[in-house]
Amino acid sequence: MSTTTVAHHDEHADHPTGIMRWLTTTNHKDIGTMYLTFSLIMFLVGGCMILGIRAELFKPGLQLMNPDFFNQLIGVHALIMIFAALMPAATGFANWMIPLQIGAPDMALPRLNNWGFWLLPPSAILLTLPFTLALFGIGDGALATGWTFYPPLSVQGGIGVDFAIFAVHLLGISSVLGSINIIVTLFNMRAPGMTLMKMPLFAWGWLITAFLLIATIPVLAGAVTMLLTDRHFGTHFFDAAGGGDPIMFQHLFWFFGHPEVYILLLPVWGFIPQILQTFSRKPVYGYKAQVYSFWAIGALAVVVWAHHFFTAGLPVPALLYFMYSTMAISLPLAVLFFCWIKTMWKGSMSFETPMLFTVGWIILFGIGGLTGLVLADVAADAQYHNSYFVVAHFHYTLFAGGIMGIMAGVYYWLPKMTGHMYNEKLGKTHFWLTAISFNMTFIPQFFLGLAGMPRRIPDYALQFAEFNMISSISAFVLGLSQLLFVYIIITCIRGGKKATDQVWEGAEGLEWTLSSPPPYHSFAEQPVIK
């Protein structure tokens, strides 16, 4: 892949300045920056919530909060981390990098793009407002059902549930708009000569993600709307007394909820090979195999949902089907792992911060995947369901596999986006602090789960005290380490060593042919790919 022309007209901004620039912008880089900033802020907000929970769990007994508030923190933490931190981060990268990687001047539908972003802050406010309202005696706080909204609890819950339902509606519209935009961009805006099978893997990961999003988010929206009518308009979708079935909600929810896991991870799987290629100074191994694995995982994602409620009383044939189909996902995933490792194999590797995060990511995400196989086993799941084992498992996939992957991407592209190198020493320190404290937080939770500690409970039996104490202390180290991350990003935006156009010695792809930072309008003349 090579480029013949690189457009360089760095005209000075025919855009408004100040706040109006950000409110009205349709520029993909500006919108990408807003998504990433929003994501970082919400990551800290969601982090503070979970530190409240870890503080409560530091010792057995109830010290800091009543159980109701505890439940609210847990549910809102999950919703914020998933919908307001991880998903916007991936969308932010998509906005920034997809046009640069495929040689497009901008996203295909720029106005839609602006709208997609500006739906996010109101929905974050909707999610967290009930906390504030409760301080003034209005309502009884945010939703306390956990992020899964299971009825009958969510039908009986207070106004927090309604706020969360409307927040999910807004978030859903935002992601659907973002996804449509990305699909159209990838189909219509590629540079001449860039066929689908020449697209960078990041673009491929996002293409599958976007299709999963527009196919499953509406199902979630439908399910929570039914919940809303059950709560206020006398319907009985999920009310057994009226002929409905609460288990049906679980089917609807997880029909969205399981693909959601891959929605969060596919963009990361997309750029991880690019980072590996850069720092191993070798081409990506098994490009086609990875693309086909993306397809396979995307297809399997929508037919395995019931493994999230094996214990709800499904018949044996259904249990067996969902067990086998879930385990089948590990096959394409193993192909990906193999390709990642083979890309590094015998490469001339160097370990700058993005590479450290990526290699750590492969190991930790691998642990997340393997513990998932344990939970996919129907017989074993009967013991581990709703225990801390599950909590540890999905934090290995979503914190390590999701957020640490995103961090790798941040360090990888930050010099390109800002034009400055970040402080490498601090970056490495951030990696080691994060990786060690993350493991120290969640390894004890595997043991707690095996010993039978249930999740979502503010108090626990005495025999769980030591592991919880280790987990809580490490969680605070993990949380405070992220302040270093914020510091590194801010100092990098404000100055630092000038980044070259290529930034990394082994970096390949269209985005590295542009200046660092790229001009406000790039690829006005599309490059031709041979």
Footprint of another protein on this chain (CB under 8 A)?
A: 108-109, 112, 176, 180-181, 183-184, 187-189, 211, 214-219, 221-223, 226, 237, 240-241, 245, 247-248, 251-252, 255, 313-316, 318
- Smallest distance from another protein to CB 134, Å: 23
Residue with tokens 């503010």: 458
Of 214, 65, 46, residue with least CA distance to 127:
46
- CA 103-108-113 angle, to 5 degrees, is 120
Taking the least distance from each CB to another protein, the nearer of 161 and 252 is: 252
- Smallest distance from another protein to CB 184, Å: 5
Of 177, 96, 155, residue with least CA distance to 410:
96
- Smallest distance from another protein to CB 108, Å: 4
Of 433, 515, 528, residue with least CA distance to 481:
433
Taking the least distance from each CB to another protein, the nearer of 181 and 397 is: 181
DSSP alpha helices (H): ranges in 302-404? 316-328, 330-344, 353-376, 378-384, 388-395
- Smallest distance from another protein to CB 457, Å: 21
Taking the least distance from each CB to another protein, the nearer of 236 and 342 is: 236
- Smallest distance from another protein to CB 241, Å: 3
Please answer whether residues 86 and 158 qualify as being in contact, where contact means their C-beta atoms are separated by less than 8 angstroms: no
- Smallest distance from another protein to CB 172, Å: 10
Taking the least distance from each CB to another protein, the nearer of 220 and 364 is: 220
Taking the least distance from each CB to another protein, the nearer of 11 and 288 is: 11
Q: Left (φ > 0), alpha (ψ -120 to 50) or beta: where does 496 sit?
A: left
In angstroms, the CA 369 to CA 361 distance is 12
- CA 52-369-36 angle, to 5 degrees, is 55
- Smallest distance from another protein to CB 219, Å: 4
In angstroms, the CA 281 to CA 350 distance is 9
- Smallest distance from another protein to CB 247, Å: 6
Of 178, 196, 201, residue with least CA distance to 268:
201
- Smallest distance from another protein to CB 199, Å: 17
Taking the least distance from each CB to another protein, the nearer of 82 and 252 is: 252
In angstroms, the CA 419 to CA 481 distance is 24
In angstroms, the CA 182 to CA 359 distance is 28
Taking the least distance from each CB to another protein, the nearer of 240 and 363 is: 240
Two structure tokens written together for 65 = 């909060």
- Smallest distance from another protein to CB 267, Å: 18
Nearest-10 crossing angle of helices 353-376, 246-280: 150
Taking the least distance from each CB to another protein, the nearer of 378 and 406 is: 378
- Smallest distance from another protein to CB 29, Å: 19
In angstroms, the CA 104 to CA 68 distance is 50
Q: How many CA atoms lie within 13 A of 225 on its CB side?
A: 9
- Between the two ends of the chain, the Cα-to-Cα distance in Å is 6
Tell me the residue type at 369: G
In sequence order, the β-bridge partners of residue 498 are: 420
Q: Which residues make Cβ contacts (< 8 Å) with residue 231, sequence separation at least 6?
A: 154, 155, 161, 162
For 18-54, b/e burial (b = at least 16 CB within 10 A) is eeeebeebbbbbbbbbbbbebbbbbbebbbebbbbbb
- The full length of the chain comes to 530
- Smallest distance from another protein to CB 11, Å: 17
Please answer whether residues 480 and 437 qualify as being in contact, where contact means their C-beta atoms are separated by less than 8 angstroms: no
Number of Cβ within 10 Å of residue 474's Cβ equals: 20
- Smallest distance from another protein to CB 27, Å: 16
Two structure tokens written together for 19 = 């706040």
Nearest-10 crossing angle of helices 465-494, 424-450: 160
